[in-house]
């Protein structure tokens, strides 16, 4: 029960890593506000937590819209009185050759993955500063913050931005006792990667570039988020933990084909 009595807001909580983190935080004693642009998915995650004996509420919000973000934060505070932990996780990804990326796809990806990460982080941090008790923010970045993915350029650029945003937030918020870190997942078995993992040739390529020889699981990312959100990581801020099965050490900074 490492998060006993704390209130956590998890964005992108309707599926994948976000849902796994929401469930794990609740199992460790946190009161969880599960937020997602898909309201039904957020409700499903909250219901799972409630059935397991935890405390949860569901919030529908589009993190790329400032009004939605503020309403989401207000709803979480209304439910639990404060926000001690933010899992800043909402994100999108499209697989498109560079020469075929449209302006609309670029705008949607950057607005959700980077602008949304900023808007949510800022709104929650303002509340944490107002409450004066510090807090913890965990952003979801990606191994592609470092490794270039030529078939998902907007995603790659957005996650590189998240890496820098994490460091900047950590320095800016340290005087307020707010720690800011990030997780950099490799290929994880989520809805975002379902089609890639289902294709035998793509899966073979993924395994070949991953020293551990397998795809990661959302619960493994939840374990890292739990560590970063807990007092066990009390002297860690501004860091990105890459959980990629060894892909980054194997490839360095050399662009890797998808």
CB 229 within 8 A of CB 32: no
Contact 219, 24 (CB under 8 A): yes
Helices and strands (H, E) in the chain, number of each type? 10, 7
Copy the structure tokens of residue 32.
């969880």
Q: For helices 39-51 and 16-27, what crossing angle results, to 10°?
A: 30
Whole-angstrom distance, CA of residue 219 vs CA of residue 105: 29
Q: How far is CA 213 from the centre of its chain?
A: 24
Q: Is 80 a catalytic residue?
A: no
Please pick, among 80, 155, 235, 242, the residue that the annotation labels catalytic: 155
Q: Which residues are catalytic?
A: 155
């Amino acid at each position: 029960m490492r998060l006993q009595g704390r209130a956590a807001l998890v964005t992108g909580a309707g599926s994948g890593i976000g849902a796994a983190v929401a469930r794990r935080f609740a199992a460790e004693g946190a009161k969880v506000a599960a937020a997602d642009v898909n309201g039904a998915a957020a409700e499903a995650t909250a219901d799972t937590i409630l059935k397991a004996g935890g405390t949860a509420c569901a919030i529908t919000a589009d993190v790329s819209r400032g009004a939605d973000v503020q309403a989401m934060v207000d709803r979480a505070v209304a439910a639990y009185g404060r926000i001690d932990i933010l899992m800043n996780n909402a994100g999108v990804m499209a697989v498109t050759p560079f020469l075929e990326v449209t302006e609309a796809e670029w705008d949607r990806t950057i607005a959700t993955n980077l602008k949304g990460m900023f808007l949510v982080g800022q709104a929650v941090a303002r509340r944490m500063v107002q409450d004066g008790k510090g807090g913890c923010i965990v952003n979801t970045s990606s191994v592609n913050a470092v490794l270039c993915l030529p078939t998902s350029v907007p995603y790659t650029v957005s996650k590189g931005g998240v890496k820098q945003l994490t460091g900047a937030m950590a320095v800016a918020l340290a005087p307020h006792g707010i720690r800011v870190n990030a997780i950099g997942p490799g290929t994880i078995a989520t809805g975002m990667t379902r089609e890639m993992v289902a294709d035998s040739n793509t899966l073979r390529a993924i395994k070949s570039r991953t020293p551990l020889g397998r795809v990661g699981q959302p619960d493994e990312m939840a374990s890292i988020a739990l560590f970063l959100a807990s007092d066990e990581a009390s002297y860690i801020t501004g860091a990105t933990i890459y959980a990629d099965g060894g892909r980054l050490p194997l490839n360095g900074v050399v662009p890797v084909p998808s």
